[in-house]
Amino acid sequence: MQNNKASYTLSVIVITKNEQDRIAKCLDSVIAIADEIIVLDSGSTDNTVAIAKTYTDKVYVTDWPGYGPQKQRALELATCDWVLSIDADEVLTLELAQEISDKLARSPPEASFKMQWAVMLFGKRLDHGRSARYVERLFRRQGARFSDDLVHEKVILPKGKTSNLNNRLLHYSNRDFGHLLDKTSLYAFLGAQKRFKAGRYGGGLFVAALRAGWVFFQIYVLRLGLLDGGHGFLMAMIYAQYTFNKYAGVWAMRQDDKKNNVASRNNI
């Protein structure tokens, strides 16, 4: 891969925990274009840290404050002009790495670039549904920060143009079916907590079911998840279940809150 770094520098930031089976593949895909790689680990009990140290001396072990705050910590350690924030389960294809190198070497006017996911599920690449959405991963460091969200964090950038890159970002999101279920349940619970704390209740259980049905229809039909075959059907169902669990979780938290308020009044 040709690489011209004369006009730019690039920091790659990664947050990890127990990613020994995936971190090497991730870092292998970025090492040719990175001026520095920063890995922030939140207490791995496997060989993640040792593997990461074979790629960079900028490996730090810390606690876990949530996705947004943790990525902000990593961003604050970055020193280069541009930042590539990549997850341990994501891999740049050679074509995408080359595109990033070529794009940044031309001193582009953009403030950020988005990449289109290619989710890998049980040996198949998903090209449709929500799995093929664009995610913001590459941005100018100056003035950028991550939101404080505990899950589904966002990059907050100063004003500037955002463009899409052409090549796909491989996303090995799930190790197996059990991991898929565990991850979805965790994200639903964190999403419910976020909505509850913000006072965004979203209706009761019946509305939660309607939302889940709409998500399935949107992903499987409108976004053509059906073209991914059985894998696409499974992902549409998983997203629908996640949606129901998130809003059902908010409902359950409201019930607990009401019960606690009644108990508190009775004790006065």
66-119 pLDDT, tens digit per residue, is 999 999 999 999 999 999 999 999 999 999 999 999 999 999 999 999 999 888
9-29 pLDDT, tens digit per residue, is 999 999 999 999 999 999 999
The strand pairing partners of 170, in sequence order, are 91, 118
Averaged pLDDT for residues 174-199? 90
Please provide residue 264's backbone torsions phi and psi, each rounded to the nearest 5 degrees: -65, -40
Reply yes or no on whether the pLDDT at 152 is more than 90: no
Identify which has the larger pLDDT, 264 or 44: 44
106-147 pLDDT, tens digit per residue, is 999 999 999 998 888 888 888 888 877 899 999 999 999 999
pLDDT of residue 137: 95
pLDDT of residue 1: 67
Average pLDDT, the chain: 92
pLDDT of residue 133: 84
Burial of 256 (C-beta count, 10 Å sphere; 0-12/13-18/19+): exposed
Which pTM does this prediction carry? Answer: 0.79
Reply yes or no on whether the pLDDT at 198 is more than 60: yes
220-244 pLDDT, tens digit per residue, is 999 999 999 999 999 999 999 999 9
Burial of 193 (C-beta count, 10 Å sphere; 0-12/13-18/19+): middle
Q: Which two tokens stand for residue 92?
A: 């740049």
Contact 90, 26 (CB under 8 A): yes
pLDDT of residue 136: 93
Q: Which two tokens stand for residue 172?
A: 């090995």
